[in-house]
Amino acid sequence: MKNFRKRHARAGARAHDWAPFRAAERLICPSVRQAPFRLALAYANTYEVGMSSLGFQRVYELVGETPMWTCERFFTDGRGIPRSVESDTPLNQFGCVAFSVSFEEDYLHLLQMLDRAGIPLRRKDRGPWDPLIVMGGSCASINPLPMSEFIDVFALGAAENVLPTLLPTLAEEDDRNAVLDRLAGERGFYLPSHHWPEEEERLPKLRKMELTAEQMRSPGNLPTSSIVTPKTEFANKFLIEMSRGCPEKCRYCWATFGMGKFRWHPADFILESLDRARAVTNQVGFVATAVGDHPEIERILQQALESGFRSSVSSIRIPAVKEGVLEPLHASGSRSITLAPETGSDRLRQLMNKPITNATLLEKVKLIFRHGFTQLKLYFIIGLPQETMEDVHAILELGAACRGLMLEEASKTGVVGNIHLGCNILIPKPYTPWQREPMDDKRNLEHKISVLRQGVAKLPNISLSMMSPRQAIWQTYISRAGSDAADAIERAARGQSLASLLREFPERIHPEVFQTFPRQLRWQFMSVG
Ligand code: SF4
């Protein structure tokens, strides 16, 4: 598919200056600047957020490794036409723009990026000279329907499985219709133009092409950072994926129900990948939904330490907190641990199918502080089915008990740390056992938030961050909506406030409507492959 120049490209706004970003980057994979085919790889958020995404970096590496292809990155930074980090080329000069989207909130940014580039937002308004718009990432696999009026092609599954079909199709076909016709017959793609969007409940079964356990036993399928930079949330860290899925089955969690069985990359591949990082950094971040459940986590952390790396991990499942994990992490300089008790009460935790008790959690927290960690992040969710005010108070009591353990340790060391409570609101996600649950009432949520705020204010060394109920209502809506969400999403992208959208589309957006879901859920046309 040919690259082209957009006739009505907007000019005028000053281009974002990518030079300091380029100068700060240290490349792990060789970068190919000249190739006959170019893919625009876009992240609908800032450089800092996008470059923190291992999935985004993985696509960049895989395209760059493909003969005859090169990849240029786009982010939301700046104003006017988005321009690539690599060569300052405008977004509208590419034949295909592939977005990697992991958060539904970024749908608005995605549309704003298209608008800034002069690319028609709705796929039906795009002509032969407009770029093909592709969307991958976890949002495409959770429920692509709300974006189906805007996106030409949804890539369902792992980049390793969909790029070998997408890239040759783009290279070999001459125009967007030919590309669409060919992809519609391939596994791992959902094309709203070809898959009968007007009959959402009768969409054909499509398979998501997730990375299988067998594929993960190949060293070429280990996602690691392709670029290390100080300008990300994980400054200067070389990220390595440990595993996919999770051995637990929490009822609200898409990561376990939507990503397939828990499987992991062999420890030897993970350790060998450190050799690639050595030339540019001594910091490594091990990432996964269940990092601590890798069967060889202790060996990996110990060997990373002995090789001179400072290690950190994304959140660990509570049962996986052990001396063999904490010791090498602390010895390598890590001082922060993140756990997700989710609720303050054992009763509610049982209901969400998370078989951890407060007693077990407190044992683990004690172990954490005893090993010299000073920062503890605890993630909670409010608005759960059958939640009472006692359960909300239990969050504060659990926070206070953790604080007691922290102070006990501080009395020996003289170092007082802090505890952060990160509270989210339940967003019932497609494919989870709670996908049909209604959202908690807005007024209930506001009351619960106020109780938490007042309680935390009385607890020194504890901080709290809260998701807003309005944000949760919007997220719940766009997580489970169909293609009829396009109007609301487009208006929100053009600046209409959520309050005004709630007034205008109350029957669609308001959480209570979700109690009337049909038996056949609209997003269930995708199965894990
Ligand atoms: S432990 Fe975490 S990742 Fe695993 S199922 Fe529960 S919420 Fe999901």
Same domain membership, residue 384 and residue 505: yes
Q: What is the pLDDT of residue 329?
A: 96
Supply the DSSP string of 45-79, one letter for each residue.
Answer: S-HHHHTT-HHHHHHHHHHHHSTTEEEEEE-S-SS
- Give strand pairing partners of 464: 421
Q: Which atom of ligand 1 is nearest to the CA of 252?
A: 7
Say if residue 166 is in the same domain as residue 256: no
194 and 137 share one domain: yes
pLDDT of the residue at 202: 63
Task: Let me know if residue 350 belongs to a domain.
Answer: no
pLDDT at 85: 96
DSSP 241-274: E-EES-S---TT-HHHHTS-S-EE--HHHHHHHH
What span, in angstroms and rounded, lies between the C-alpha atoms of 417 and 214?
A: 43
- d(CA 338, CA 506) in angstroms, rounded, equals 37
Check whether residue 455 and residue 310 sit in a common domain. no
Task: State the Rg of the chain over Cα.
Answer: 23
**Does 344 map to a domain?**
no
Q: Can you give the pLDDT at residue 31? A: 64
- For residue 249, which atom of ligand 1 is closest to its CA? 5
Ligand 1 atom with the shortest distance to the CA of 342: 7
Instruction: Quote the pLDDT of residue 255.
Output: 87
My answer on whether 222 and 198 are in the same domain is: no
Q: What is the pLDDT at residue 436?
A: 86
Residue 9: the pLDDT is: 42
Enclosing domain of residue 68: 20-204
In a domain, 10, yes or no: no
Give the C-alpha separation, 350 to 387, whole Å.
Answer: 12
Distance separating alpha carbons of residues 356 and 127, to the nearest angstrom = 55
Residues 418 and 270 in one domain: no
How many angstroms separate the Cα of 20 from the Cα of each of 17, 86, 140?
7, 12, 32
Segments of the chain scoring below 70 in pLDDT: 1-14, 30-33, 196-204, 510-520, 527-529
- Residue 13 is assigned to a structural domain of this protein: no
Q: How buried is residue 312: exposed, middle or buried, by Cβ count under 10 Å (0-12/13-18/19+)?
A: buried
Residue 239 shares a structural domain with residue 374: no
SS3 (DSSP) at 529: coil
CATH code, 169 = 3.40.50
Which residue puts its alpha carbon closest to atom 8 of ligand 1? Answer: 253
User: 94 and 71 in one domain?
Assistant: yes
Question: Do 181 and 221 fall into the same domain?
Answer: no
Instruction: Tell whether 505 is covered by a domain.
Output: yes
Look at ligand 1, atom 3, and give the residue with the nearest C-alpha: 289
The protein residue with its alpha carbon nearest to ligand 1, atom 1, reads: 248
**473 token code pair:** 């209502």
Cα-based angle 82, 87, 88 (whole degrees, multiple of 5): 30
Token pair listed for 403: 């604080």
Ligand 1 mean position, distance from CA 70 (Å): 36
Q: Which of 294, 317, 334 is the last residue of a domain?
A: 334
Buried b / exposed e along 228-252 (16+ C-beta atoms within 10 A):
bbeebebebbbbbbbbbbbebebbb
Report which protein residue has its CA nearest ligand 1's atom 6: 250
**Residue 511: predicted pLDDT:** 63
Q: Which atom of ligand 1 is nearest to the CA of 253?
A: 8
Distance CA 81, CA 263 (A): 41
Question: Is 356 part of any domain?
Answer: no
Same domain? For 155 and 36 the reply is yes
In this predicted model, what pLDDT tens digit does every residue of 116-175 receive, in sequence order? 999 999 999 999 999 999 999 999 988 999 999 999 999 999 999 999 999 999 999 989
Taking only the tens place, the pLDDT of each residue in 62-97 is: 999 999 999 999 999 999 999 999 999 999 999 999
Domain boundary among 204, 236, 260: 204
**What secondary structure does DSSP assign to 70-109, as a single string?**
EEEEE-S-SSSS-B-TTT--BGGGSSEEEEE---TTHHHH
Name residue, tokens 């490209």.
Answer: 9
- Distance, CA 491 to ligand 1 centroid (Å)? 34
The Cα–Cα gap between 48 and 28 comes to: 18
Q: Domain total for the chain?
A: 3
Q: Note whether residue 144 is domain-resident.
A: yes
Nearest atom in ligand 1 to the alpha carbon of residue 246 is: 4
CATH number at residue 273: 3.30.750.210
Domain boundary among the residues 178, 204, 230 is at 204
Whether residue 236 sits in one domain with residue 200: no
77 & 36 share domain: yes
Domain contains 7:
no
Q: Which residues line ligand 1 (CB under 6 A)?
A: 246, 248-250, 253, 255-256, 289-290, 317, 340, 354
pLDDT at position 201: 61
